[in-house]
Amino acid sequence: MTDRGLKIATIGGGSSYTPELIEGFIKRYDSLPVKDIWLVDVEAGLEKLRIVTELAKRMIEKSGIDLQIHATINREEALKDADFVTTQFRVGQLDARIRDERIPLRYGKIGQETTGASGFAKALRSVPVILDICHDMERLCPDAFLINFANPSGILTEAALNHSAIRTIGLCNCPINMVSDMAEKFDCSPDDVFCDFVGINHLVWAKRVLVRGEDVTKTAIEKLCADTAADVMANIPDIHFDPALLKALNMVPVSYLKYYYMQPEMLAECVRAAENEGCRGEVIRGVEKELFALYQDPALDSKPPQLAKRGGARYSDAACSLIDSIYNNKKDIQTVNVLNCGTNADLPDNASIERNCVIDKDGAHPIHIGRTPLKIRGLLQNVKAYEQLTIEAAVKGDYDKALLALTIHPLVNSATVARQILDDILAENRAYLPQFDH
């Protein structure tokens, strides 16, 4: 902690999500006395960083609190003596995302930012960066917590936990959105809802849903089957789960599971969208353009409602809640990504899992699961094996591990296609993948 008080460093500070992060700290200022927020970005993101910083300063001024916003491209300056580091970076920016989503479509495979071959490409670029950040933290703020919500969050969190000494917790907005969706369906406050989550990042199921302590899982499934509203996740096509599947599962699946359970329908929608309005990255480029035009308005001094169009809404609120609970030793329960360490008997101890955890001053402590229900175990183990091979490939620049990872992913599932996609990824990301130069 600095002389002034709590110091937060945000890597990827020029992100369009940053105003939500600032709002979260303003809202919690009485219990979480953050005094300095350092927004860090790279040279290519300087203009966005400038715009976001000015908006953040207007938000702080309006709130009247004693909080200083600093902007820099000097990561070491920002990390020095930080108490918490949040990561929301995108290596290669939106151009890289668009390439990621377009490459698999050439070969008749789903292109989605964090899932399947697209998520694999993003992981190869991002794992070395998260480890660079961790190694800087080991020198400059070794006692700080790293709160990661850069995607693919589970993979990056696992890499940081297994390849550095930094206390890392991964975050995703899916669980918090699922809880909010259940609150809407049962016409109650999110505080009245408890979901017993089991799985890994973007592959998680609510095994049970409780409202005010009563198990309402069966009713929740019935409501999901009858629901015709838009998907709770803004970045996922609005194709509904098969009602027969939901009843057979008797669990509430995260929206990302549609890519696995409804693969032909989701692929058809990815192809249709790419040919018409553009892949999701291209759509987001338009949303970002609109957001940053709004952010430049000198009269704007709050988070605009248009930010909800971005798929990561509520990420930042989840991050602020987590930091608040650690700082204040709250011992409340939140759903985060941590090392398994025996929590789930069907996954390796060194795997990251997404799980309900007790949050205190020492971090996140997962609640024991035991065996995973057979109906989800195979898919869970398959995708976790893919994730662990991907981390090895990204750390070592290992082509063979990369090929194996892609081949076994359920959304690729072909050695021939995996090799074609991998070669395209390596060719089109050469500037970001020096570990593969050999």
Interhelix angle for 18-27 vs 46-63, to 10°?
A: 20
The amino acid present at 23, given as its one-letter code, is: E
- 3-state class of 321 per DSSP? helix
Separation of first and last alpha carbons in the chain: 42
d(CA 363, CA 153): 17
Q: Cα 263 to the chain's mean position, in Å?
A: 22
And the tokens for 166? 């930094």
| H/E element, 362 | none
Instruction: Give the DSSP per-residue string, 202-219.
Output: TEEEEEEEEETTEE-HHH
Tell me how far apart the alpha carbons of residues 181 and 176 are, in angstroms, rounded to a whole number.
9
Nearest CA to 425 among 117, 95, 113, 89? Answer: 117
- CA nearest neighbour of 281 among 400, 75, 114: 114
> What is d(CA 194, CA 191) in angstroms, rounded to the nearest whole number?
8
Give the span between the Cα atoms of 338 and 344, in whole angstroms.
12
The residues, any chain, with a CB within 8 Å of residue 15's CB and separated by 6 or more, are 48, 52, 88, 89, 90
| Residues belonging to the active site | 256
Please, which residues bridge with residue 148 across strands?
87, 170
Q: What angle do CA 313, 171, 315 make, to 5 degrees?
A: 15
Q: Which of 384, 388, 409, 387 is nearest to 199 (CA)?
A: 384
Peptide bond into 190 cis (omega under 30): no
* Separation in Å, CA 157 to CA 136, 152, 429: 16, 9, 22
220 closest CA partner among 248, 244, 196, 246? 246
DSSP E strand stretches across 167-258: 167-170, 193-200, 203-211, 214-215, 252-253
